[in-house]
Structure 1
Amino acid sequence: MFNFMKLVQNENMKIYRRPRTYVMLGLLLALIAAISIIGYFVDDNHTASAWSMIMTEVMISYMLVTVFTIIIASSSVADEFTSGTIKLLLIRPWTRSKVLLSKYIAVLLYALGMVVVMLVFTVILNMILFGYTNETASEVISPLVSGSVMAYLLKYSFLKYVSLVVTTTLAFMLATVSRSGALAIGLSLFLILGVNSFSPLLASLKYKWADYILFIHLDLTQYLNDTPMRDGTTLGFSVLVLAIYYAIFVGLAWYVFKKRDVAA
């Protein structure tokens, strides 16, 4: 176990040793700061609250975190093939499964770290600028939502992270199968940003098989407001569909990586 954790640590070092990691984090925080500061100075009537700004920025930031995580996930495996360092990994006393798992865990930890930093920075910055207000979720989000805004934010962030894990796994699988970071990034972004834009259209299909389309279930936050894209679907059903796709993505990535002559 200790040796495996060292392997995960090594993969984390590869991620955080690269300047692009900090550039992406800087872009994320700069975007959040810009929205908050602009909102503070243009809100002459003081209609904006800290919580409304926080929810708006978190919704926007999650899309950016998804894009950045796709880039990291796609390059994690593909860059090893491009540089030829995959051979050095495989001559060490670690199985291929452990090598791939360490990369996968490092990517998920990166995604989690980005989400945590984003949430903490957003909350603190807006509380400083706009001050704390004791608002409910029904006042900030929708009359259909009850409870505190903080509880809603935590639920929203958790459900978004579940979707982020599935999306990251898809990009990781594509990079492992294709051994091309550019192809994996391009295809992942096309599927997530392009095809996902047509989710409402896909959800309107009158066929039973449409219940199992991945993109209809990726946004689990639709159930927070009790507004599912497709009639009859529930949070549990969407989680089950995502779990099936997740198992397929993981299984395919590990099968290809173990069978392919990666050291050639």
Structure 2
Amino acid sequence: MKVLTNFWNLLKNENMKIYRRPRTYIMLAIIAGLVLLISLLWFSFDKQSTSMWEVAQLEMTIVNVLVAIFAVVIAASIVSEEFSTGTIKLLLIRPWSRSKILLSKYIAAILFLILATAVLITSSLLINWLLFSVFSPNTVPLIDPEFSAIINDGSSSAYLFKSYGLNLITTIVTVTMSFMISTIFRSNILAISISLFMLLIVNNMMMLLTLINKPWVDYLLFIHLDLVSYLHNSPIREGLTLSFSLTVLACYWLLFMILTWVFFKKRDVAS
């Protein structure tokens, strides 16, 4: 019980570091504000036959990218910032092991991602419920009417929440990669820059590799970061399945966690 209490205090300390900063609330406000902006723009042009699920799907597609960016920034700085400012020494002199310190930081980063996703979902559903009708709730979003024959239960809400769930899985893997980068580099700015470069540039460039007809391409990380495509039976590469993509992502997640632990355990903080 004492061990759990000590770890809870450590986790609470890491969350305080995140939520005592104005930038955290600015990020969350931007997410909700962008949702509101998209809904108001849509409402100003078409408020008659629009379903709230249709607008919510568009907002998920657009704003979820922003959620991933903000979560990556938090994860990429949560360890490297301690080394940049020298506060890591204050943590390590406490009666906590390096493994517990690392785990608390990782959980705090994931909790921020979950919170940001919750803000996106809640604001999107609430705002669109107030502005639009729940028009045709048992059909798929009008943005992609061809999906109606593909989604198993034909429900717009089911499709939306499945999409959120699959996007959350891929974002967790991306955040874990950023968390690993944060443990490797002492510079906070460098860790964030590399993480965003991997997310925004390398991710898009790697999509070009899908054109290469080689088996090894199927095992690249970024090939499997679009799990939503499986909801409408159009995987990024022919022959790929959802279970295979989840297995590959799980392997990468495990690899990132192992490398993170190894680097953090061996990191010299004397300098």
User: Do the two structures share a fold, i.e. TM-score over 0.5?
Assistant: yes
Q: Supply the distance in 2 between the matched residues of 1:112 and 1:195 (Cα, whole angstroms).
A: 24
Aligned residue in 1 for 2:175: 168
Shift of the 75–200 alpha-carbon distance from structure 1 to 2, 3 Å rule, reads closer
Does residue 43 in structure 1 map to residue 35 in structure 2? Answer: no
Q: Deviations over 1:9-49 (max 9, x none)?
A: 110111000000011111111111011011111226x2432
Aligned residue in 2 for 1:91: 93
Does residue 13 in structure 1 map to residue 16 in structure 2? Answer: yes
Shift of the 48–133 alpha-carbon distance from structure 1 to 2, 3 Å rule, reads closer
Identify the match of residue 117 of structure 2 among 100, 115, 118: 115
Q: Supply the distance in 2 between the matched residues of 1:25 and 1:179 (Cα, whole angstroms).
A: 27
Question: Gaps (5+ residues) in structure 1?
Answer: none
Q: Supply the distance in 2 between the matched residues of 1:60 and 1:237 (Cα, whole angstroms).
A: 26
Shift of the 215–14 alpha-carbon distance from structure 1 to 2, 3 Å rule, reads same
Does residue 238 in structure 1 map to residue 245 in structure 2? Answer: yes
Q: Which amino acid aligns with 2:129?
A: M
Q: Supply the distance in 2 between the matched residues of 1:49 and 1:165 (Cα, whole angstroms).
A: 30
Shift of the 82–200 alpha-carbon distance from structure 1 to 2, 3 Å rule, reads closer
Aligned residue in 2 for 1:32: 35
- Tell me which stretches of 4 or more aligned residues in structure 1 moved more than 4 Å: none
Deviation at 1:179, TM superposition (A): 2.0
Identify the match of residue 133 of structure 1 among 132, 135, 143: 135
Q: Which amino acid aligns with 2:218?
A: D
Q: Deviations over 1:103-143 (max 9, x none)?
A: 00000001001101110110010010012223334453423
Aligned residues: 263
Q: Which amino acid aligns with 2:237?
A: R
After TM superposition, the structure 1 = structure 2 runs for residues 202-241 of structure 1, keeping only pairs within 5 Å, are 202-241=209-248
**Residue 55 of structure 1 contacts residue 153 of structure 1 at CA under 8 Å; is this kept in 2?**
yes
Aligned residue in 2 for 1:255: 262
Q: Supply the distance in 2 between the matched residues of 1:155 and 1:32 (Cα, whole angstroms).
A: 19
TM-score in terms of structure 2 length: 0.93
Q: Supply the distance in 2 between the matched residues of 1:17 and 1:138 (Cα, whole angstroms).
A: 41
**Residue 138 of structure 1 contacts residue 146 of structure 1 at CA under 8 Å; is this kept in 2?**
no
Q: Supply the distance in 1 between the matched residues of 2:68 and 2:12 (Cα, whole angstroms).
A: 22
**Residue 90 of structure 1 contacts residue 263 of structure 1 at CA under 8 Å; is this kept in 2?**
no
CA RMSD across the alignment: 1.4
Aligned residue in 2 for 1:76: 78
Question: Gaps (5+ residues) in structure 2?
Answer: none
Identity in percent: 45
Aligned residue in 2 for 1:145: 151
**More displaced, 139-148 or 74-83?**
139-148
